[in-house]
Amino acid sequence: MKLLHKTLLATGALLAAGCSDPNPPETLPADLAAGKQVVETTCIACHGQGLNGAPILGNPKMWAKRLPQGEDTLVSHAINGYAYDMMPPRGGNPDLSDTQVRNAVRYMMSLVQPET
């Protein structure tokens, strides 16, 4: 809980300092906007700082070996858990639906994939 609190405080500090959101929800397709919300409320706890080896949001180098596995594999890892509980099922939030998890994975992937 302390880590999540620190992450939220750091995020708030950046926003207060005038850093704008590179992906405001109104500019994203619906599934990515929904995924962004899940990322900001659940996934950020680990993917914000690379906790337990989680690839950091927007870090192409850390995502480079994961992206080639494809969306379905990454979603399966996120739903079911992966790597000896380093990635807990549903990011540790059992209330997330499969669709919410898929949208979160899509959003995280979109931060490091080149635009087509």
How does pLDDT run across 19-74, given as a tens digit for each residue? 445 565 567 899 999 999 999 999 999 999 999 999 999 999 999 999 999 999 99
CATH number at residue 68: 1.10.760.10
Answer yes or no: is 1 within a domain: no
Instruction: Evaluate if residue 84 carries a pLDDT over 90.
Output: no
> Which pLDDT does position 49 carry in this prediction?
95
Q: Residue-wise over 28-64: b if at least 16 C-beta within 10 A, else e?
A: eeeebbbbbebbbebbbbbbbeeeeebbbbeeeebbe
Distance CA 53, CA 47 (A): 9
* Tens digits of residue pLDDT in 98-108: 999 999 999 99
Instruction: Evaluate if residue 8 carries a pLDDT over 80.
Output: no
Q: Which residues pair with 82 in a beta bridge?
A: 87
Answer yes or no: is 6 within a domain: no
CA 52 to chain centre: 14
> Which pLDDT does position 114 carry in this prediction?
75
Answer yes or no: is 12 within a domain: no
Instruction: Evaluate if residue 97 carries a pLDDT over 70.
Output: yes
- Write out the residue range of the structural domain in which residue 48 sits: 30-110
CA distances from 110 to 10, 62, 63, 104, 107 (A): 23, 14, 11, 10, 5
> Which pLDDT does position 25 carry in this prediction?
55
AA identity, residue 59: N
Q: Hey, what are 18's tokens?
A: 């005038």
Answer yes or no: is 40 within a domain: yes
Nearest by Cα to 90 from 47, 48, 42 = 42
> Which pLDDT does position 28 carry in this prediction?
84
